[in-house]
Chain A
């Protein structure tokens, strides 16, 4: 306590208090904000669409057009479905911050309720993929090995063997799949965000998608095993070569310097 009182008059004290107050307010808001109030009954649905339309007009219409018809700055949202909105807004990609080769993932701007309202509104513009149920993307009844094979056929070419991501043309890239919500992975396969092609049920069946998500959970989660040791980013020979040079040859050169160095001489007295 003594330390604290000593710093009370520090020039930055006011700033710290302000930040603290802001954090508390924000936290309280987040805790009490209507998170899951959007009920599935019709009135709530139409209410959500109405709210969503308001949000849309403020945050989305400038690029996607007032009715979701699309402009030169953003594609049409008619028929993209609730899944696309849930993915784009839920991963923070939309609303986009600035134009560029690709819109990156960032911290979501809208809260869950707002996202659902937006999704309801966009879904009302034209039929499209709906937000998947948990049972569609959890690992129950999934075949990890089959998922691996499917992943290597359909996904690894862009996202790397274990979903570490990779480069596309002109600065675009396939993002890493590490730490991505399984629901979002499912939605991405279904809707094909940005330059990613979509994998509808005719291309990858529902079971196929489930298998792929289970495989990713096994090889690319926080708990994923790397029996051999450091996975070096899972990037293959380039990072292995760098590691071999820096830590392998580097350590050996350090040892060689010790071996070849002259032993300290006794000080002349």
Chain B
């Protein structure tokens, strides 16, 4: 149909072209019903809500650049002699995987940039997921109805770690090869099946000729495929649940306040993708990452000091580094606890935070939906647990880089290792106690502010000579903000004997639950928020002291 006729038909009262295309699609895909609930969907604005977007966009960047890299990368362990343009490698024997990585870096125009964007985006992806998860944790955004989405996010983080690790291994350079050798040691340490698994995974003795092609399939197909599925599910649930929001004037548990998807959020979120891509491109322009040409090709008899994995595996590396060398021999069998225990602790520590939402809802016995975020100070036990977890995590990150901390701060590597061994157990406890105290202090300050107003910094001299600081009363918005949170009562077990004097049977799990509940909401763990009566009594008096 030509433009002229369409123009005339429009004049005759038919719909414009865009609308007719939409009609066509609606008749087949039902897009109007879909758009009805989504086009003007409301999203609250807060910078911390965009951490997840950073992760999402870096994932897209990784896929785009990753596809480009596959056009040039040869995932093969066949040995060749290098004759490319990087002089300090000419004549060196290496695998095709390493050779093609050098080619991407030195002989494909822009290849180095794409490689660096890919790797930087991967580091940012994992970092953003981690910080996003912490935001969700500390604000209680994981509560009903979002527990499943929390698990999806957790799985994305774990899969992201392994996708990152396999990708880091692909160039077959000396650093990543050392990492693969570590994996071999871990597999061998598995009781009973270790040596069989090692032979099957590596296709024979280490390093063999199969591991890089196999990692390649896992890295570009298997893991990203699963992640893409989880990611879509994660996003659908975000849409379906509607986003949480921070407390404030006009924000309730039954509404969501913000800007509509079309146009504001679409422009902001769409624009943010370009911003993320732009920032990562600039970083790839100015900062080198994984310069494999300086590291050299992998050979099992070579190694460099400072052999570390990428940061997201640093936590596991730390666990392995600080583990004492325990090994058992019995009945002709060997169990290598020096490897086995850290490798079991690694998922356990991660799972500890993954199952937290279910623990908390059990302790609280709360089955309602929550859409208003908690201020971390108002849930001291949860905040304390989160800080304790982070301390354990970061102590192990220090352990993972113990050799670099040693050289850069002129310390003994052995002392750092001992510090980490102790701090892994002591640090979280101290962190938990300190955080809880700080939270309660902040609650007290909030209460003070509500009852006595804000310290204005103005000193006034009263007629009888006394100096006082003028406290300005808060407006209603602030009063509401500081008092809107719930303060549940702890669970009670009830009397031990019932009305007939018969001992009630109380399950151990019930006792534990009551105890935990007390540690969450008991007297010592919460500062009662000001009541209206208290407020009125103080404000009706005179002088805001």
Chain A residues packing against B (C-beta within 8 Å): 101, 143-146, 148-149, 152-153, 156-162, 164-171, 173-174, 215, 218-219, 226-232, 234-245, 247-249, 251-253, 255-257, 259-262
Contact = CB atoms under 8 A, between A and B. Distances in A.
Most buried by B among A145, A231, A241: A241
Interface string B301-331: 1111111111110100000000000000000
Contacts of A248: 120, 123-124, 127, 279-280, 283
A261 B284 CA distance: 27
B87 A259 contact: no
Given A167-B305, A227-B105, A260 B47 contact: yes
B88 interface: yes
Given A145-B91, A256-B47, A235 B174 contact: no
Contact of B90 (A145, A228, A244): A145
B112 A227 contact: yes
B50 interface: yes
Given A149-B296, A249-B128, A230 B305 contact: no
Contacts of B306: 160, 164, 166, 235-236, 238
Interface stretch (B206-214, B270-278, B337-345, B519-527): B270-278
Contacts, number: 207
Contacts of B290: 237, 240
Given A165-B407, A227-B106, A255-B279, 18 more contacts: A145-B89, A148-B92, A148-B296, A152-B302, A156-B304, A157-B302, A160-B304, A166-B305, A166-B407, A171-B415, A228-B288, A229-B287, A240-B123, A245-B311, A248-B283, A253-B54, A256-B53, A259-B50
B403 A152 contact: no
A251 B279 contact: yes
8 contacts: A145-B92, A152-B174, A156-B304, A164-B306, A228-B287, A243-B287, A244-B124, A248-B279
Contact of B288 (A144, A148, A232): A232
Contact of B116 (A153, A228, A255): A228
B17 interface: no
A248 B125 CA distance: 10
A63 B423 CA distance: 40
B88 A145 contact: yes
A241 B174 contact: no
Contacts of B51: 253, 256
Contact of B124 (A215, A218, A227, A252): A252
B302 A153 contact: yes
A157 B404 contact: no
A221 to B, nearest CB: 12
Most buried by B among A145, A159, A170, A248: A248
Nearest to A155: B304
A228 B286 CA distance: 7
A8 B465 CA distance: 54
B275 A259 contact: yes
Given A166-B407, A232-B287, A244-B123, A237 B116 contact: no
B286 A229 contact: yes
B54 A249 contact: yes
Contacts of A149: 92, 296
Contacts of B105: 227-228
Contacts of B6: none
B299 interface: yes
A243 B268 CA distance: 26
B175 interface: yes
